[in-house]
């Protein structure tokens, strides 16, 4: 427990430090943080699937790792077309994967599908953070995407370990309980309300460029409550989905880079799902 706590504190310090540097010095620090976790996640998926006898193709994974962010950055900065840049990088990498599969008899269909899957999950999932951090207030958007699932996971652990009770999905994640899932929803709601009060109602940091959801506080509050509730559900689905994949390939953790917490994928599984929710919500709201 002590090792897990120390690791968590160190991780939060690094993430918070990069976000602060991104605000005071250059936005690129936030982008580098996103890229770092994307590459770590991709590498862990490559290793994890290899243990199950599935050999992902290295070339397309390297190509998307190297090209996606620069192409996104340049097209977003000069043309406002960052999303198209991400799509180009992904499609070109997929084309390379298909070409390698076609001409290399050592690769089978499972290798091809696993390679494309890894480029989508985690890499493209996590890359949505580039979009919300560039088009909206980066400090607000990124911290919201991180702290909402963190609060959900924390409350789920506290409530579940205290109340215990009926298992939520014992075949996939034996430790998760229904009481913990309800606690997770409560944690996500509390976090979302906290963000509403901090950024919109009291406007504590007006200089970060946050734009209110609506021109009426109570309407914005309802949106935050909805995001908290849906985010709590989505976050937990992301966690369970990662567990399902691990069970299918026969591993406990995706890696061991974070003592007591597993790998990068074990830390960003629920965050990736939350990012997609927020990208959808912000696109509609704004």
Burial class of 9 by CB neighbour count within 10 A (0 to 12, 13 to 18, 19+): exposed
78-100 pLDDT, tens digit each: 999 999 999 999 999 999 999 99
Does 102 score more than 90 pLDDT?
yes
Classify residue 169 by its DSSP letter. E
* Predicted confidence (pLDDT) per residue in 224-242, tens digit: 999 999 999 999 999 999 9
Does residue 3 carry a pLDDT above 90? no
Share in percent of the chain as helix, strand, coil (round to 5): 80, 5, 15
Domain residues for the domain of 29 are: 2-285
Two structure tokens written together for 224: 């935050």
User: Structural domain tally of the chain?
Assistant: 1
pLDDT tens, residue by residue, 257-270: 887 678 899 999 99
- Per-residue pLDDT, 1: 60
């Amino acid at each position: 427990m002590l090792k897990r706590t120390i690791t968590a504190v160190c991780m939060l310090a690094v993430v918070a430090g990069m976000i602060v540097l991104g605000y005071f010095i250059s936005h690129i620090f936030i982008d580098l943080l996103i890229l770092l976790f994307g590459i770590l996640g991709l590498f862990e998926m490559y290793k994890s699937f290899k243990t199950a006898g599935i050999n992902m193709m290295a070339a397309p994974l390297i190509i998307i790792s190297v090209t996606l962010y620069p192409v996104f950055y340049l097209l977003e900065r000069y043309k406002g077309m960052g999303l198209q840049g991400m799509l180009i990088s992904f499609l070109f990498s997929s084309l390379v994967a298909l070409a390698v599969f076609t001409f290399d008899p050592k690769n089978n269909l499972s290798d091809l599908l696993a390679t494309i899957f890894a480029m989508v999950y985690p890499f493209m999932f996590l890359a949505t953070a580039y979009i919300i951090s560039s088009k909206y207030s980066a400090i607000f958007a990124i911290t919201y995407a991180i702290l909402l699932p963190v609060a959900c996971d924390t409350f789920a652990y506290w409530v579940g370990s205290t109340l215990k009770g009926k298992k939520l999905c014992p075949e996939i994640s034996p430790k998760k309980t229904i009481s913990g899932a309800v606690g997770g929803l409560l944690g996500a709601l509390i976090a979302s309300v906290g963000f509403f009060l901090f950024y919109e109602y009291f406007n504590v940091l007006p200089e970060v460029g946050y734009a209110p959801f609506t021109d009426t506080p109570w309407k914005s509050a309802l949106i935050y409550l909805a995001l908290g509730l849906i985010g709590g559900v989505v976050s937990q689905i992301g966690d369970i989905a990662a567990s399902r994949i691990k069970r299918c390939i026969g591993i406990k953790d995706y890696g061991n880079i974070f003592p007591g917490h597993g790998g990068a994928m074990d830390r960003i599984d629920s965050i990736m799902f939350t990012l997609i929710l927020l990208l959808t919500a912000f696109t509609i709201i704004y």
